Structure 1
């Protein structure tokens, strides 16, 4: 019975790692492809790696590019102003492109409603920015 449980655990763990790895690849592609979102795929990869491989989860959270985005989300349920600004630009551009391309008016209306709903919820996310190092230097000089 013990071997059966270990085998199931390894299979489930392998599935989580596989889905996490695919999500990381899609997230990296999303950096370069405007219609593919990066952050949701990285959040999915983080969730999968948490359950499947603590080592890969640690690597993802310590990554110089992806780590700050994930840590902001996991610690504060917030995004940086840069992520929010880029997200808004990409949402608007991709939906405008889609609206221009589709021929039927009701598709255009549906895309417009979807964009409005997405922007509404996306812009409700909390923004958190870390203070810059110049702030610390200024504070240190004021205290002297």
Structure 2
């Protein structure tokens, strides 16, 4: 029963990851990482299959080995997130919610700049 649960979660997460790769609104990377975790917990066959895909090589291995992002990836994610946060700030009429959203946006920038390692572009394209 536990294995079936992880298989289902893995494929759902993989679907969200693929959607996140195509749609600029959704980040795909975290979903691919979670899918890898779920497939590892579910079965060796699914784990081996996922590890042999280009998705795994591009998104999961890159993150696991380098533990960082290129400047271009950081900027793209921040611009998209800022757009939706600012849209929410203008849409919501409650002052405390606006303040919380702005604080979260500022913290997001701090986190991306100070906590996530910036990888030079030539290192990322292996």
Higher relative contact order (CA 8 A, sep 6+): 2
- Higher-Rg member (1/2): 1
Contact persistence 2:3–2:43 (CA under 8 A): yes
Q: Deviations over 1:62-119 (max 9, x none)?
A: 4334532211111122223332222111221111111111112221111111112222
**Could you say which residue in structure 2 is the equivalent of 1:81?**
71
Corresponding pairs, count = 121
Cα drift, residue 129 of structure 1: 4.1
19-28 or 117-126: which moved more? Answer: 117-126
TM-score by length of structure 2 reads: 0.79
Q: 3-state DSSP class of the match of 2:122?
A: coil
Contact persistence 2:69–2:119 (CA under 8 A): yes
Q: Deviations over 1:26-81 (max 9, x none)?
A: 122223151x3322111111111122134433444443345322111111222233
RMSD: 2.2
Q: In structure 1, which of residues 28, 52, 71 is the aligned counterpart of residue 42 of structure 2?
A: 52
Q: In structure 1, which of residues 2, 12, 15 is the aligned counterpart of residue 5 of structure 2?
A: 15
Structure 2 Cα separation of the partners of residues 79 and 57 of structure 1: 24
**Could you say which residue in structure 1 is the equivalent of 2:117?**
126
In the alignment, structure 1 segments of 5+ residues that lack a partner are: 1-10, 133-144
Within a 5 Å distance, the mapping from 1:62-77 to structure 2 comes to 62-65=52-55, 67-77=57-67
